[in-house]
Amino acid sequence: MKTNLSLTAGILMLIHVPLTAQVNTTSQPGVVDLTRLANYANQTKPVYIARTNTPVNNQITDAGATLGRVMFYDKRLSRNSTVSCASCHQQANAFGDTAVASVGVNGTTGRHSMRLVNAGFATETRFFWDERAATLELQTTQPIRDHVEMGFSGTLGDPAFADLVTRLTAIPEYHVMFAMTFGTATITEARIQNSLAQFVRSIQSFDSKYDVGRAQVPDNQPFPNFTNQENAGKALFLNPPGPGGGAGCAGCHVPPEFAIDPNSRNNGVTASLGGGTDLTNTRSPSLRDMVGPNGKSNGPFMHHGGQATIADVINHYNLIPGDNTNLDPRLRRPGGAVQNLNLSQQQKDQLAAFLRTLTGSAVYTDAKWSNPFTASNELSLIILPENATTVTKNANNTLTLTCQAAPNLTYRMESSTNLKDWTLVEQVAVGTTGLIERTVPITGTSTFYRFTYTP
């Protein structure tokens, strides 16, 4: 895998004021511009979205999420450099997989891959179908440590997680991005976890038809932008079963995030992918983006991927197929019988129509969540901008040179009188803003200045 670091130097001549024109490099394939980070930290979200599982000590930063993005798509995080997080969590499928089981470095997964859209907007802090990860941070390195998925398990002939740290430490791009994010270039499991979790939590989708309606009126009123069928489906989703005649979905898939209720138990799905039963699954991804903007399914659904379509899901809840010891009481009727909603075909279609209004569009195409590598796995980082140093003439016969560079790195400021031989003026350590600002005297002879970086 070839990678290269673009060590662009801003060269200035004292007499001429250089161009400040900027090329838009942020969405160029194979290029990550660290001098102009994409916005992950201050994305707009609707006012009614309040649930979050972001811990106070791992708030999203643009630098951290950018590092997380690169790692999410980097196949070198797997034992034989063939599998990345994105192999099983694909942007085109709402960061899930349309295969029932996903392919890892040593076979296929034991459960269906989960869509990651809006994973951060929930009160549930635990992750995985069976909630075995206490936080998203702790979740993120489990696939790397998994023998089947990415193969740094340290058992069964696999390299250990420490070997991955050694591998990443030898890659100059990671040296730069860890320093940029954390202040020093040291790579630790906790830093990998924090940045991957920041990227995953940044993946948000709030531009659906549902959001257009919800921005105007509360859930319990008909949405002006909905069809009658969609409004009827919304009422079925929200209302509990019984005299009101609802389907009771909102009790466990809580709007407006449609995130799982932390107290949910088993939902009547008992089959396991490998055969046998599995009653441990009490978490669901957000029900947003079950289909893509073109209506194409992002399923199959449930931990065993056993329900291919939304219609299959609705048939499941309409008549829970059997009892089990962990079945959630909300799926029982008074007296203890398992749920039989007796929905008509028209009601099932209404519910399905409503579920399809929960689909956004930007999350499928926004470059900030896309693969930063080229098809041949190349990646260039821009650390110093090309042609983007500005020069200001001051009253006291000095010039101020300003340059937006990547944060938390140390640059060399060099000068030359012939553009061939360069001498170090000073090392410039830039802080979290990444802004280089230096004042130089205007002298009789022409002097050239440049900023350079060596990892």
Q: Which residues bind ligand HEC (CB under 6 A)?
A: 72, 77, 83, 85, 87-89, 102, 104, 109, 111, 113-116, 119, 127-130, 136, 139-140, 143-144, 149-150, 196, 200, 247-249, 251-253, 264, 267, 269, 281-285, 287, 290, 301-303, 313-314, 317, 328, 330-331
Of 87, 92, 152, nearest in space to 113 by CA: 87
Cβ at position 420, least distance to ligand HEC in Å = 47
Cβ at position 286, least distance to ligand HEC in Å = 8
Closest to ligand HEC by CB, 35 vs 113, is 113
Cβ at position 212, least distance to ligand HEC in Å = 21
Examine residue 29 and say whether the peptide bond preceding it is cis (omega within 30 degrees of 0).
Answer: no
Cβ at position 372, least distance to ligand HEC in Å = 15
Q: How far apart, in whole angstroms, are the C-alpha atoms of residue 336 and residue 238?
A: 22
Q: How far apart, in whole angstroms, are the C-alpha atoms of residue 96 and residue 89?
A: 4
Closest to ligand HEC by CB, 248 vs 256, is 248
Closest to ligand HEC by CB, 303 vs 450, is 303
Please name the residue that has the structure tokens 């939590």. Answer: 201
Closest to ligand HEC by CB, 325 vs 427, is 325
Say how many CA atoms lie within 13 Å of 404 toward its Cβ: 10
Burial class, 429, CB count within 10 angstroms (exposed 0-12 / middle 13-18 / buried 19+): exposed
CA angle 260, 261, 265 (to 5 degrees): 95
Q: Which residues of 293-320 are buried (b: 16+ CB within 10 A; e: fewer)?
A: eeeeebbbbbbbbbbeebeebbebbbeb
**Tokens in use for 106?**
């040593």
Closest to ligand HEC by CB, 313 vs 379, is 313
Asked if residues 386 and 23 have their Cβ atoms less than 8 Å apart, the reply is: yes
Closest to ligand HEC by CB, 61 vs 102, is 102
Closest to ligand HEC by CB, 113 vs 389, is 113
Cβ at position 177, least distance to ligand HEC in Å = 16
Asked if residues 359 and 212 have their Cβ atoms less than 8 Å apart, the reply is: no
Q: How far apart, in whole angstroms, are the C-alpha atoms of residue 327 and residue 325?
A: 6
Cβ at position 269, least distance to ligand HEC in Å = 4
**Tokens in use for 451?**
């900023």
Closest to ligand HEC by CB, 302 vs 388, is 302
Cβ at position 448, least distance to ligand HEC in Å = 45
Closest to ligand HEC by CB, 235 vs 382, is 235
Cβ at position 432, least distance to ligand HEC in Å = 25
Closest to ligand HEC by CB, 331 vs 401, is 331
Say how many CA atoms lie within 13 Å of 337 toward its Cβ: 6
Cβ at position 140, least distance to ligand HEC in Å = 4
Cβ at position 271, least distance to ligand HEC in Å = 9
Phi, psi of 197 (to 5 degrees): -65, -35
Q: How far apart, in whole angstroms, are the C-alpha atoms of residue 184 and residue 179?
A: 4
Q: How far apart, in whole angstroms, are the C-alpha atoms of residue 339 and residue 341?
A: 6
Q: Which amino acid is at 128?
A: F
Cβ at position 206, least distance to ligand HEC in Å = 17
Ramachandran class of 78: left when φ > 0, alpha when ψ lies in -120 to 50, beta otherwise:
beta
Closest to ligand HEC by CB, 251 vs 255, is 251
Cβ at position 139, least distance to ligand HEC in Å = 5
Residue 398's contacts (CB-CB under 8 Å, 6 or more residues apart) are 439, 440, 441, 442
Closest to ligand HEC by CB, 109 vs 204, is 109
**Tokens in use for 299?**
């399923």
Phi, psi of 347 (to 5 degrees): -65, -40
**Tokens in use for 374?**
């080229």
